Amino acid sequence: MRLETIAVHAGHAPDDSTGSVTPPIYPSTTFERNPDLSYRGGHLYSRYSNPNRASLEACLAQLEGAGAAACFSSGSAATTAVLQSLEPNAHVVIPEDAYYGTLKLVRDIFGPWGLRFSAVDMTSVANVERAITDRTRIVWVETPSNPLVRVVDIAAIARLAKQAGAWAVVDNTWATPVLQRPLALGADIVMHSTTKYLGGHSDVLGGALVAHDESHALFTKARAVQQAGGAVPSPFECWLTLRGIRTLPWRVRAQTDNARRVADFLESHKRVEAVHYPGLRSHPAYDVANRQMSAPGAMLAFQVRGGRDAAIVCTNRLKIFTRATSLGGTESLIEHRQSVEGPDTRAPENLLRVSVGLEHPDDLVEDLDQALR
């Protein structure tokens, strides 16, 4: 099946008892055993599994062309499970411009527990190669990156990781399976914050890990960490995410078309210092993005001439864009990223991160134009 069909049908089936086309929500935390002590639906206790979560996991695995998925209570919870799967004194290579929550986990939470890490500019494969040691267990890739919208060559990094006996884990939140398939490029594990494009409506929190199959060593360990620790999404959150996925391909493509229009406009605006968007030929990794992505996505960042104050004033003048964190919803969001990330950020003081939504592109361009002028 093609992606649009998978998004509509994967994880969905008419309810056996009622024939309901829309799946019911199963809030139960426990499940009755049969007289022979087996479980009729394979579910024991909701920390281990739940019918709604199982449906969402089946859908996510199919979307990524994989054989297994595990859904978590957030993207950060999924990342935490991966890091908790490592032995003491293990080493991780991570992008210097990764999502600040991921860097915080590696540096501030797991650093004191003995995790070693190297944060490098992964747009250079040579940098990654130099950073890998005999203790490296994971090479963590985030592409496009948050918030600098850098693009990393997944296939090249995955080859390096494999040669070193390490796992390549790719945060595919921004690109989604619609635009990028990391497992097909050699990655071992794909991570998603399902809060973003997969849910798609800014009303659900969740995360996921996807692997080629259930037997993958890192996936098995992360699943065990989850089942013991309980970082699971609620049945309702799984139900909402599965509902959101049904329109995922169409939303992402429409948002990408809008983002192209916005990026072209911003690149030509005299009040804009720089635009970071892999769909522009001026982007340093334009060729890499074209090679591994089917389209450049709906996330971009731009720098306003005049520094921090000018950037913040611009956000205050906007009428359609909402000043808010997060991304991937139907509404367009904008934020001054440096003030969100704090003193350790790599975001320039005049940088604004934009999640382009489903509004009419002319309205978005006109709103940005009047705010910048």
Which is catalytic among the residues 53, 137, 181, 196?
A: 196
CB count within 10 Å of CB 331 equals: 15
Q: What is the pairing mode between strands 299-304 and 351-355?
A: antiparallel
Residue 121, judged by CB atoms within 10 A of its CB (0-12, 13-18, 19+), counts as: middle
| 283, two tokens | 């982007």
For the question of residue 277 being annotated catalytic, the response is no
Q: Apex CA 287: angle with CA 282 and CA 291, to 5°?
A: 145
How far is Cα 40 from Cα 42, in angstroms, rounded to an integer? 6
- Return the axis-axis angle of helices 235-245 and 51-63, rounded to nearest 10°: 30
- Annotated active-site residue 99? The verdict is yes
Among this protein's residues, is 196 annotated catalytic? yes
47 labelled catalytic: yes
Q: Given 53, 97, 137, 171, which residue is catalytic?
A: 171
State the burial class of residue 276 (Cβ atoms within 10 Å of its Cβ: 0-12, 13-18, 19+): buried
Which of 53, 97, 99, 246 is an active site residue?
A: 99
- Active-site annotation holder among 47, 221, 261, 305: 47
Rounded distance between C-alpha atoms, residue 262 and residue 268, angstroms = 10
Residues with a known catalytic role: 47, 99, 171, 196
